[in-house]
Amino acid sequence: MKRTIIFIMAAALAAAMTGCGKKAETGSGVVGDGKDKPAATAATQATAAAEATAFPTVSATQPPFVDSNETQVVTAQEVPISEKKEDFEKSSEPEQFTKYVSGDNRWGILLPKEARAADEDEGGAIFVLNQNTIAVNTMTEPVELKSAEEAKKYFSVLANVKLNSFKVIYDGNTYAGCCFDFESPTGIFGFGKYAVKGKNAASAAAMNMAGDAALNDLLRDTVNSLVVFE
């Protein structure tokens, strides 16, 4: 069965973010709970989505989004891209976050403790944080977006987005990914990141559906914590 696993901007990040086939047999788990969690069923996904919409709408407080073509070059030491799984599991995390390891052991991310896993399969995972969505997708054909202009052109296949704070990440002389803020054509703020290490690649995206500027740093930090495992 073919289905769309992630919202539109995450789909743009990976070029083809549809999952097909059976669910991954190994469920993902939050590090430290002592056991793996089974992959969510369609019923639990629907329940999580219903719960997410049950929260009251937060009045939009976002400032005007500044569209920019400025590109900053950073290193993988400044914006982590990859890590050994055992090192990720053993490292400490900020108090408000919890480690999450994918069921296929390909990637890890720091999630806000209030976030809930809505669904995961071999193509990625979806999490909900009140009204907001966080998505991670594994990538079989990663692209190299080395400037804000390239990213805008890439996204234009699906939507004309605004970008800001675009950072292209290098591991030595090797392209390792990028991270950025974006605004959708409907005015929703979001945050995206690529992480590429050898043949292992993943993307993460989050959208601030509540329009609450106080959530921007939390969602950005969540997305930027994505690492692929070496």
Per-residue pLDDT reduced to its tens digit, 90-110: 999 999 999 999 999 999 999
Give me the mean pLDDT over the 55-79 stretch. 84
Q: Yes or no: say if 29 and 36 are a contact pair by the CB < 8 Å rule.
A: yes
Give me the mean pLDDT over the 7-21 stretch. 36
Q: Which domains does the chain have, with CATH numbers?
A: 2-17+66-229 (3.40.1000.10)
Beta strands in 78-173 (DSSP E): 82-83, 97-101, 107-112, 116-121, 124-129, 132-138, 162-171
* Res. 119 pLDDT band, cuts 50 70 90: confident
pLDDT at position 223 is: 95
pLDDT at position 39 is: 45
Tell which wins on pLDDT, 179 or 185. Answer: 179
Residue whose entry in the numeric block shows the structure tokens 């329009």? 211
pLDDT of residue 5 exceeding 60, the answer is no
pLDDT at position 177 is: 95
pLDDT of residue 165 exceeding 70, the answer is yes
Q: Yes or no: say if 108 and 101 are a contact pair by the CB < 8 Å rule.
A: yes
pTM above 0.85, yes or no: no
Tell which wins on pLDDT, 223 or 139. Answer: 223
Q: In this structure, which long-range contacts are made by residues 152-156, counting pairs with CB atoms below 8 Å and at least 24 apart in sequence?
A: 152/69, 154/12, 155/9, 155/12, 155/182
Give me the mean pLDDT over the 128-150 stretch. 87
Out of 95-109, 122-136, 216-230, which region has the weakest mean confidence (pLDDT)? 122-136
Q: Yes or no: say if 176 and 197 are a contact pair by the CB < 8 Å rule.
A: yes
Closest CA to 9 of 130, 138, 189: 189
Out of 37-46, 62-71, 113-122, 167-176, which region has the weakest mean confidence (pLDDT)? 37-46
